[in-house]
């Protein structure tokens, strides 16, 4: 019973779960003062996995490219931020995505599906090592997800709008390698969930950064994210991966 409305709405649901990408640009050195950066970014993610939107719904298997997912998007916004004072580091990430689609359910009845998702990650940590070219941070924090999906079949008066909100604890590590005055590489990884919110989630990110000026840094790289969430009749087991690009404003 893999209907068009379930397939596309559920694909958008999983793609919208773009939690906590760390700030992607090389941060400046600090000497007792705060420095930071704000990074709007685009993630060209393909996706795979399974999703059961609510109890009694079919389990949908998904394997879609970024271009296929983009067809159903009504809008998306992703923003990351990073700040540091001496060895104290702070990280935040916000994402919003909305999607809708029209399709049919057996025996050919018209149906509508829509999705809204918001996620927020906040983490704090300590710069445990800072050398001439390499810096290494350890962080801990929370990742909150809120997902609301609506499925409606007007001709038979069926409407379902399940929503789920959950918060995961996360632990993260972040390495910053300076290659030259203008070029750097950042690696990031986190793990979380532990049955508190989701059963488990993990993420990794590698980006190369180019400092075009003292204020602007441009980044490109790869990011992968997985989440396994089960509550009541809802299950999300998703794997997302693909390239990202961003531009950071430093202050």
Among 141-155, 176-190, 223-237, the range of highest mean pLDDT:
176-190
Of residues 227 and 49, more confidently modeled: 227
Give which of 79, 91, 78, 42 is closest to 246, Cα–Cα.
Answer: 42
Specify the pLDDT at position 192. 95
Look up tokens 């079949």; give the residue.
153
Of residues 76 and 90, more confidently modeled: 90
For the four alpha carbons of 190, 196, 201 and 207, in that order, the dihedral sign comes to negative
Specify the pLDDT at position 56. 64
| Model confidence at 147: pLDDT above 90 | no
Q: pLDDT digits over 26-75, tens only?
A: 455 556 899 999 999 887 766 666 666 667 665 656 666 666 665 655 56
Specify the pLDDT at position 218. 96
Q: Look up the CATH number of domain 4-250.
A: 2.40.128.100
Summary mean pLDDT of the chain: 76
Rounded Cα–Cα distance for residues 216 and 164 (Å): 37
- Residue 47 CA: distances (Å) to CA of 14, 195, 240: 8, 23, 4
Average pLDDT of span 128-140: 96
Q: Give the rounded distance of the alpha carbon of 35 from its chain centre.
A: 24
Rounded Cα–Cα distance for residues 21 and 13 (Å): 18
Specify the pLDDT at position 153. 56
Average pLDDT of span 211-226: 91
Specify the pLDDT at position 17. 41
Which two structure tokens, joined as six digits, stand for 140? 């801990």
CB neighbours of residue 89 within 10 Å: 22
Q: Global pTM? A: 0.78
Rounded Cα–Cα distance for residues 238 and 103 (Å): 23
Rounded Cα–Cα distance for residues 144 and 118 (Å): 8
Rounded Cα–Cα distance for residues 5 and 19 (Å): 24
């Amino acid at each position: 019973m893999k209907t068009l409305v379930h397939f596309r709405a559920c694909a958008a649901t999983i793609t919208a779960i773009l939690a906590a990408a760390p700030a992607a640009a090389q941060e400046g050195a600090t000497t007792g003062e705060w420095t930071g950066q704000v990074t709007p970014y685009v993630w060209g993610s393909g996706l795979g996995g399974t999703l059961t939107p609510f109890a009694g719904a079919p389990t949908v298997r998904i394997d879609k490219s970024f271009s296929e997912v983009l067809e159903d998007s009504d809008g998306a916004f992703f923003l990351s931020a990073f700040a540091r004072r001496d060895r104290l580091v702070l990280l935040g990430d916000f994402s919003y995505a909305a999607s809708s689609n029209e399709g049919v359910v057996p025996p050919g009845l018209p149906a509508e599906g829509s999705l809204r998702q918001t996620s927020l990650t906040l983490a704090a940590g300590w710069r445990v090592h800072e050398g001439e070219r390499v810096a290494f941070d350890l962080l801990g924090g929370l990742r909150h997800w809120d997902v609301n999906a609506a499925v409606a079949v007007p001709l038979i008066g069926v409407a379902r709008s399940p929503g789920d909100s959950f918060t995961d604890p996360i632990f993260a590590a972040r390495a910053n390698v300076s290659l030259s005055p203008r070029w750097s590489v950042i690696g990031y990884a986190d793990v979380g969930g532990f049955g508190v919110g989701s059963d488990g989630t993990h993420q990794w990110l590698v980006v190369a950064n180019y400092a075009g000026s003292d204020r602007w840094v441009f980044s490109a790289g790869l990011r992968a994210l997985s989440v396994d969430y089960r509550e009541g009749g809802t299950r999300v087991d998703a794997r997302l991966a693909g390239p990202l690009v961003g531009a950071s404003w430093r202050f």
